Amino acid sequence: MTCHICTACGTQFEESTEPPSACPVCEDDRQFVPPSGQAWTNMAEISSNHEIKWIEEAKGIHSLQISPNFGIGQRAFLIEGPGGNILWDCLSVVDETSREKIDALGGLAAIAISHPHFYSSMMEWSEAFGEVPVYVHADDGEWVQRSGPALTRWTGEKLELNRATLIRCGGHFAGSSVLYCPWLEDGRGALFTGDTMQVTLDRKYVSFMRSFPNLIPLNARAVKAIGEAVHPYRFEAIYGGFSGRTIKRDGSCVIERSVARYISAIEDPSASQA
Ligand SMILES: [Zn+2]
Ligand SMILES: [Zn+2]
């Protein structure tokens, strides 16, 4: 029996003898099955020629990324916090070096995940740290491919988690969430966004999409709702879900002007005069 992992999106599935017939995450209109077709691997295979690269992004913020890139190439974050360390988002493999590093930093209190594209091997990470709870938004429950007693499906608009706040924004997925940590950046605050908000390559804006690979935008109502969800919070830095996608200054203002720019790009000005 093996927990098969989809090579395209990096999602780990429940234990089975044969690989699943398809990957629902890749079949969804937000992702894609590669031209070479559906393929499967497992954690032992990936671990044989990949490692996890750690970068200290700021005091108390470490990014973790599989090297060379695997799946969609996202980064996860080990966030040191006054209420215990949080793993934000996740990767398809757990390695011994990361386990030792996290133990040396005081262990893990919780795992929280922005949305289904980053579920990856979340239950395996939980097991590696003594069944630490894994928080995913209940609105995305249908996308969970491997479950377990540690999986916590949270509901509603926000959840206080070890002095941090999980905020449901919706948009990309119904339960797409971000994590607000007020103590980071010397008390000026940081927001971790996955791709609920994608930090743009000029690092001056964030953007919002139903699908990034298939270029499906969101409507004005969804984008306004994302802006409103984070409006009550003040933060300096924004850490997106991919390497280099970090904004270090004026995070709250960046989101306000990004929402305004997006809406002016998609709304027909003549419609608002009607
Ligand atoms: Zn997949
Ligand atoms: Zn995504």
For residue 30, the CA-to-ligand 2 centroid distance in Å is: 8
Please state, in angstroms and as integers, the Cα–Cα distance from residue 160 to each residue in 55, 106, 113, 179, following that order.
27, 21, 14, 10
For residue 33, the CA-to-ligand 1 centroid distance in Å is: 7
Q: What is the pLDDT of residues 169-211, one digit of tens each?
A: 999 999 999 999 999 999 999 999 999 999 999 999 999 999 9
Q: What is the pLDDT of residues 246-267, one digit of tens each?
A: 999 999 999 999 999 999 999 9
For residue 115, the CA-to-ligand 2 centroid distance in Å is: 7
For residue 114, the CA-to-ligand 2 centroid distance in Å is: 9
For residue 272, the CA-to-ligand 1 centroid distance in Å is: 41
For residue 172, the CA-to-ligand 2 centroid distance in Å is: 7
pTM above 0.95, yes or no: yes
Q: What share of the chain is helix, strand, coil (3-state, %, to 5)?
A: 25, 30, 45
Confidence at 270, pLDDT banded by 50, 70, 90: confident
For residue 34, the CA-to-ligand 2 centroid distance in Å is: 16
Domains and CATH numbers, the chain: 2-269 (3.60.15.10)
